[in-house]
Structure 1
Amino acid sequence: MECKEVEIVIYGAEVLCSSCINLPSSKETSEWLEAAISRKYKDQPFKITYVDIHNPPSAGDKKEFAEKVIEENMFYPVVLIEGKIVGEGNPKLKNIYAELEKYGYIPA
């Protein structure tokens, strides 16, 4: 089964959220996730988009969700796969992998 290229969107900020002091920054988490997913699902396409919640795109779903992260005081980074929240604060690879496999991704 051919896997569909999914979009993984990571919402975060340069400044760590107050409960995330000892965790990596949202940007570091984004880079770490990209490396981990690339290793686990070799040669399977996916797209990672990082959105700074304090400087989101000027319109669209990503802007709306960035505002929601701030308004609802969500722990960031918030990780979405195809619009579904799969991680918040300190995302777990196991949950992210499980969601990717629903889209046909096969571990290497």
Structure 2
Amino acid sequence: MKKQVKIVVYGAEQLCASCVNLPSSQETFEWLHAAISRKYPNQPFDIIHVDIFNPPNEEELSQFAERVIEEDMFYPVVTLEGNIVGEGNPRLKDIYKELEKYGYSQAE
């Protein structure tokens, strides 16, 4: 593995108006954590959940949270190393593809 990546799930407690039948951002966060851990065991990664209406004081995270609101993005929005890899209903296949660019490889 080349680099331990940072995955951020941006969302809110209240579901996005256009995402009513989709999982919440917290549920997406938990689902992604479990799915990535199973697919790439013993390959560490950082994953955090950011409430877009109450972001942490870290400038990068708070600026992107503001962008999600201003641009009316469908949340949850998932970023991997700062690049958007999913919005509204993120696809595991897309996230896995991006992880593999950083040297993650499937369990044997």
TM-score of Structure 1 vs Structure 2, range by shorter chain: over 0.9
Any unmatched runs of 5+ in structure 2?
Answer: none
User: For 1:49-88, what aligned pairs fall within 5 Å after superposition?
Assistant: 49-88=48-87
**DSSP-derived class of the 1:49 partner:** strand
Using the aligned pairs only, state the percent identity. Answer: 68
1:4 maps to which residue? 3
How much has 1:28 moved relative to structure 2?
0.4
Count of residue correspondences: 107
Any unmatched runs of 5+ in structure 1?
Answer: none
- Range moving further from structure 2, 54-63 or 95-104: 54-63
User: For 1:12-51, what aligned pairs fall within 5 Å after superposition?
Assistant: 12-51=11-50
TM-score, L = length of structure 2: 0.97
One-letter code of the match for 2:70?
E
**Cα RMSD between the aligned structures?**
0.7
How much has 1:59 moved relative to structure 2?
4.0
One-letter code of the match for 1:38?
S
How much has 1:4 moved relative to structure 2?
1.0
Check whether the contact 1:41–1:106 (CA below 8 A) recurs between aligned residues. Answer: yes
Which 4+ residue blocks in structure 1 deviate beyond 2 angstroms? none
CA–CA distance in structure 1, aligned partners of residues 92 and 2 of structure 2 = 19
Are the structure 2 counterparts of residues 39 and 19 from structure 1 closer, same or farther at C-alpha, using a change threshold of 3 Å? same
How much has 1:57 moved relative to structure 2?
1.1
CA–CA distance in structure 1, aligned partners of residues 50 and 58 of structure 2 = 12
TM-score, L = length of structure 1: 0.97
CA–CA distance in structure 2, aligned partners of residues 72 and 96 of structure 1 = 22
